A = this chain, B = another copy of it.
Amino acid sequence: MRIFDLSHELALIQSTSATLGWDQQTYLPPAGAAYRAKQLAWLAGKAHAMATSDDWQRALEEAEQADDGSDAGRSANLRELRRRFERSRKLPVEWVARESAAASLAKQAWVDARQRSDFAAFAPHLETLLGLAREKADFWGYDGEPYDALLEEYERGTSTAEVVALFDSIRDDLASIAAEAVERSAARGATLPAGPYPIEGQMRFNAMVAESMGYEFEAGRIDTTAHPFCTKLGPRDVRLTTRYYENDFTPSLFGVLHEAGHGLYEQGLPAADYGLPSGRAVSLGIHESQSRLWENHLGRSAEFWAKWHPVAAEVFPQLASCTTESLIAYVRRSAYSPIRVESDEATYDLHILLRFGLERRMLRGELAVKDVPAAWNDEFRALFGFTPANDRDGCLQDIHWSMCGLGYFPTYSLGNIHAARLFAAACRDEEIRGSVARADYLPLLGWMRERVHALGSTMVSAEVIHHATGGEPSTDDYLAHLRARYL
């Protein structure tokens, strides 16, 4: 069908952007940055023009009219293409350019403002972006509240009310688990044998771990970057990045575990459907469930370290001097940090709850931009018991708002919740439970491949969870996991 051909062509443009974006964050020489932004803007313009063109619309209509329902996969693809087309067309072209320009300015202003911890310098940009986000919500439309329209972009089919219900139901439990985990961790005081942990050794060890997870290096690689990410450059080209510290091998390892979780999902999507909804990840929340599964459920498990401690000790001889238990305690240590990205498994979600609450209030007009720092600090104190030292470590710490990313944050905690749900369901299979106990993860990967990865994005998140687990999304497994591990 012609609309599928056009979709494949659009994927060529978008994957080209992804390639340039990967290079931008790994190898691009500093002086090349300005021109790279122009290349990316050109590609983005072409992609947007194509996906909102009359020709696209005609091809879609032709396909819809010709669809006799005999192929459920094809019909699902057409439905999802229709949904996306409608959303894209609702945004006027000049408005998209305006948003893109505002985000460019805001990004630079945010970098500077954060460095100087100067919220006032960022505030006018946030005001503009908030206005644009409200306009975008109005363009897209919503049943409940403006937040719904934005959340739909990242977590199709999940309403703000559902997220509120989920988050409210676990807020107190999360806070008390975090408090106890932090207290226990402080009392125990886990440490790692002193470095150096040569970077070459870290690369070698991480590659062994990634390979054992089933990550296919024939169709991927691991590079170095300031902010780890996973990106797909084509149906058979899924790349990871991580960052290295000489004095500790675990940050690069957990970067790889997390990003390889994303990568396994991308490598597990049907390559032949690349460019179609059936070849794409369903949502950020489900995506994050895969990264969190590998990073936390497996990577911080006793079984993982029983297997990998001896291997690590061959690469880093100083690790022979510590017990496996002390390593496990080290990777499970918990402490309150003002910074989300430095937070551990037991305290992470509190950061998300805070952001979700503030974003909703901003979008509803209940919280003015000028009052954001105070609101942030109040809420932070309520959750963590102390106030960030300054706005750099407070409301200026995240890049998301400067990238027009309002509505994105909840997907992190949805990922945690879904990860536990999926893992618990998979472990009801005796073979998987047995192999996971030996840190052999291929049967588990096979389960995810079949029940999650293969689905692409023709279902919504809750349907994926139901398809995979037989039940609804729920926080039960997640709380049980945290309690078992940290209490």
Residues of A within 8 A of B (CB): 9, 12-13, 15-16, 19-20, 23, 27-32, 34-36, 38-39, 42-43, 216-221, 223, 233-237, 239, 274
Closest chain B residue to A41, Cβ basis: B12
A53 to B234, CA, bound (A): 30
Instruction: State which of B34, B39, B223 has its C-beta within 8 Å of the C-beta of A27.
Output: B223
In the complex, which residues of chain B have a beta carbon less than 8 angstroms from the beta carbon of A29?
Answer: 217-221, 236-237, 239
Query: Which residues of the other chain, B, contact A217 by a CB distance below 8 angstroms?
Result: 29
Interface centre among A19, A28, A219 (most CB of B within 10 A): A19
Name which of A13, A27, A221 has the most chain B CB atoms within 10 A of its CB: A27
Do B234 and A32 touch across chains, with their CB atoms under 8 A apart? yes
Query: Which listed residue (B42, B221, B223) contacts A9, Cβ 8 A?
Result: B42
Is there contact, CB below 8 Å, between B31 and A15? Answer: no
Min CB gap A23→B, angstroms: 6
Given A12-B39, A19-B23, A30:B234 Cβ within 8 A: no
CA–CA, A233 and B43, complex, Å: 15
Please name 20 further chain A to chain B contacts, defined as beta carbons within 8 Å, in addition to the given A29-B237, A31-B219, A35-B237, sorted by A numbering: A12-B39, A12-B42, A15-B39, A16-B16, A16-B20, A16-B43, A19-B23, A27-B221, A27-B223, A28-B237, A29-B219, A29-B221, A29-B236, A31-B216, A31-B218, A32-B234, A32-B236, A32-B237, A35-B234, A35-B236
Contacts of A219 in B (CB 8 A): 29-32
Complex formed: what's the CA distance from A237 to B27 in Å? 11
CB distance from A232 to the nearest CB of B (A): 10
29 contacts between A and B (CB under 8 A): A9-B42, A12-B38, A12-B42, A13-B42, A15-B35, A15-B39, A16-B42, A19-B19, A19-B20, A19-B23, A19-B39, A27-B221, A27-B223, A29-B218, A29-B219, A29-B220, A29-B221, A29-B237, A30-B219, A31-B216, A31-B218, A32-B233, A32-B234, A32-B236, A32-B237, A34-B236, A35-B235, A35-B236, A35-B237
Contact residues in B for A221 (Cβ distance below 8 Å): 27, 29
Q: Which residues of the partner chain B approach A235 to less than 8 Å between Cβ atoms? A: 35
Contacts of A15 in B (CB 8 A): 35, 39
Chain B residues whose CB sits within 8 angstroms of the CB of A9 once the complex forms? 42
Question: Which residue of chain B lies nearest to A36 when distances are taken between CB atoms in the complex?
Answer: B234
Task: Give me the 8 closest cross-chain CB pairs, A-B, nearest first.
Answer: A32-B237, A35-B234, A31-B219, A31-B236, A12-B42, A31-B218, A32-B234, A16-B39
**Bound: A15/B239 CA distance, A:** 22
Residues of B within 8 A of A23 (CB): 19, 23
Closest B residue to A23 by beta carbon equals B19
In the complex, chain B residues whose CB is within 8 Å of the CB of A30? 218-219
- A34, A216, A233: most-surrounded residue (chain B CB, <10 A): A233
Docked CA distance A23–B36 (Å): 15
Give the CA-CA distance A13 to B216 in the complex, in Å: 31
CB contacts (< 8 Å) of A236 on chain B: these are 29, 31-32, 34-35
